[in-house]
Amino acid sequence: MSTITPTDGRAVAGLLVTIDYQAQPNFYYCGPAATRMALSALGWQLPQDEVAQRLGTTQAGTDSALDITRVLNELTGDAYRTTEIPDTTAKPDEVHQLREDTRHALAQGRAVVANVRGTTVDTDGTPHSYEGGHYLTLVGYRPQDDLLRVADPAAPKREYWMAVPKVANWIAERGYSS
């Protein structure tokens, strides 16, 4: 378990993996950028173009979390699996599953890649809107606040905290690789 030091200086127990953050270089590389960040937590330093090629990313984007899981497993073994949240809103058991899957992955030093759609607000009150869909990387969990640390390849502030239920509802109708 890592120690997370928030901006106010107090140390809290939580899980956090170190990644090499890279922004996406164009409007359709969120999948390669998010996958590359997850791979960097495991020591892989691949160019986004190579990740995009492996994912089959086109100007239409990356098809699904299934592609992300396939590439993560091809490169790192078979630790990753895809979980889908099929309805428009995450059910309580799906929120719980996301929390547990993320905690488990982070405890093993692995980041989670999530496919999100819609608009939501982080803990600082900043809105994040991806109506056409977007991939991002979950790199930390703070249990006392039930928050996930999001590394977003399209966000100006790069990383932000968001409540687990909000992230689960953002993933709704999509899936994640953990």
pLDDT at 5 over 50: no
Q: Is residue 6 part of a domain?
A: no
Q: Is residue 12 part of a domain?
A: no
pLDDT for position 13: 67
Q: Is residue 137 part of a domain?
A: yes
pLDDT at 99 over 60: yes
CATH of the domain at 131: 3.90.70.10
Q: What is the phi/psi pair of residue 103, to 5°?
A: -60, -45
Strand, helix or coil for residue 136: strand
Q: Is residue 153 part of a domain?
A: yes
Please write the tens of the pLDDT for every residue from 20-40.
Answer: 999 999 999 999 999 999 999
* Cβ atoms of 98 and 90 closer than 8 Å: yes
Q: Is residue 112 part of a domain?
A: yes
pLDDT for position 66: 98
Q: Is residue 107 part of a domain?
A: yes
Q: Is residue 1 part of a domain?
A: no
Stated pTM of the model: 0.93
Span 102-110, average pLDDT: 97
Range of the domain at 172: 17-177
Please write the tens of the pLDDT for every residue from 46-76.
Answer: 999 999 999 999 999 999 999 999 999 999 9
* Cβ atoms of 63 and 160 closer than 8 Å: no
What's the total number of domains in the chain?
1
Bridge partners of 163? 147
pLDDT for position 140: 98
Neighbours of 11 (CB within 10 A): 9
134-158 exposure pattern, b = at least 16 Cβ within 10 A, e = fewer: bbbbbbbbbeeeebbbbbbbbbeee
Q: Is residue 9 part of a domain?
A: no
Please report the DSSP string for 100-113 in residue order. Answer: HHHHHHHHTT--EE
pLDDT for position 78: 93
